[in-house]
Amino acid sequence: MGFLRKNWKYYVINIFLAVGVYYASRIYDLTNKSTGIVHILQTSFDRLVPFIPQFIVIYNTLEPVLYASLLFFFIFHPKIFTAFASAMIALFLVSNAVYVLFQTKVPRPVLSQDTNRYVNKVIELYKSDNPYNCFPSLHCGTSTLAASFWFVKKRYRIIAFLMAIWAVLIILSTQFLKQHVVVDITGSIIALLLYFAAFRIFRLEKES
């Protein structure tokens, strides 16, 4: 009860931030379509990257792991959640601003239904997600952001390193599933900048 009394202001703020994260994430649905001039940033290197459908398993873990992390910090470390959610909202706003001003598209491979279950899952992904809103990658950005905030507290370093490995696998999955090209990994760089900004603004060094 003492913990709740001490942090009640953060919990009140965090309820609004949680709503903000949800609605900011939904902006993607509005911008995930051609806006006229569409840029293709694929390079010769990107064309050499193999298509590995098995990575759909990793790719689809993003939302469960991301929202489990947010929920954990919301309940047990409300100040970290405030910084985390604020950075998430900023990431969504920055990324979607780029999508509107500089629309990109990634060429996708032609896949045959019933080749195997992994290819079928990728086909489902392609049907549910248009090939726009590629630069910067939100999969790369949000996974990097989630992994970064686990490093705030020293007691969670093992989890943090596991999360870092998971984020790297998520980034690789965006490449091997042909959802993104290499330059789209810029989303992770933006996420790291937002993490360090939030760390300083919210003085998270006191939470370590």
Reported as a single tens digit per residue, the pLDDT across 57-90 is: 999 999 999 999 999 999 999 999 999 999 999 9
- CA–CA distance, 8 with 38 (Å, rounded to integer): 47
Q: Is the pLDDT of residue 1 over 70?
A: no
Q: Is the pLDDT of residue 93 over 70?
A: yes
How much is the average pLDDT of 103-118? 93
Q: Model pTM?
A: 0.95
Reported as a single tens digit per residue, the pLDDT across 160-200 is: 999 999 999 999 999 999 999 999 999 999 999 999 999 99
Encode burial over 21-52: b for 16+ CB neighbours within 10 A, e otherwise: beebbebbeebbeeeeeeeebbeeebeeeeee
